[in-house]
Amino acid sequence: MSLMIGKNSVVGINYTLTNDEGEVMDTSEGRGPLVYLHGANNLIPGLEQELAGKTQGDSFKATIAPDQAYGESNPELIQTLPREMFQGVDNIEPGMGFTAQGPEGQQQQITVKEVNGDQVTVDGNHPMAGKTLHFDVEIVSIRDASEEEIAHGHVHDGDNAH
């Protein structure tokens, strides 16, 4: 009997993620399967829901709306900052990514949207916020998680990761 994906399954998937235009945004191709612990919020909610109950060897396509993926784009996270906030960076160009410190001291990824003289417009939204995601997925492995993996909330693949 083959295992079905459920809470505390360790699942390996091959996947390709495309946007509405069909451009590949991310893929496991050439990197080997993505292995994750199901039910531990390691994937976007919409993809986890699609995977639940599937078995090894299953392949499927899923279209996931922003509210089940990286959320809607939040206009408040788009800000224009003075260039002097980017100390030590000589050449600031659109598309560059930086790690900034958020209001509570948390790390936040920001992407430069526009540079206009001494004004730099940055976007703190996830790059895929507001986007509908299209996944093409093949399930390559399923096993039960160990007690340690369940306790830690992620997979340990003999890599001594903590």
Bridge partners of 63, per DSSP, are: 134
CATH, domain 75-123, list 3.40.47.10, 3.20.20.70, 3.40.50.300, 2.40.10.330 = 2.40.10.330
Boundaries of every domain in the chain: 9-70+128-152, 75-123
pLDDT digits (tens, 9 = 90+) for 122-132: 999 998 999 99
Taking the model in full, what pTM does it have? 0.80
Which are the contacts of 58, defined by CB distance < 8 A and separation ≥ 6? 138, 139
Q: CA-CA distance, 23 to 17, in Å (whole number)? A: 8
CB 102 within 8 A of CB 113: no
Q: CA-CA distance, 8 to 129, in Å (whole number)? A: 27
pLDDT digits (tens, 9 = 90+) for 44-92: 999 999 999 999 999 999 999 999 999 999 999 999 999 998 888 889 9
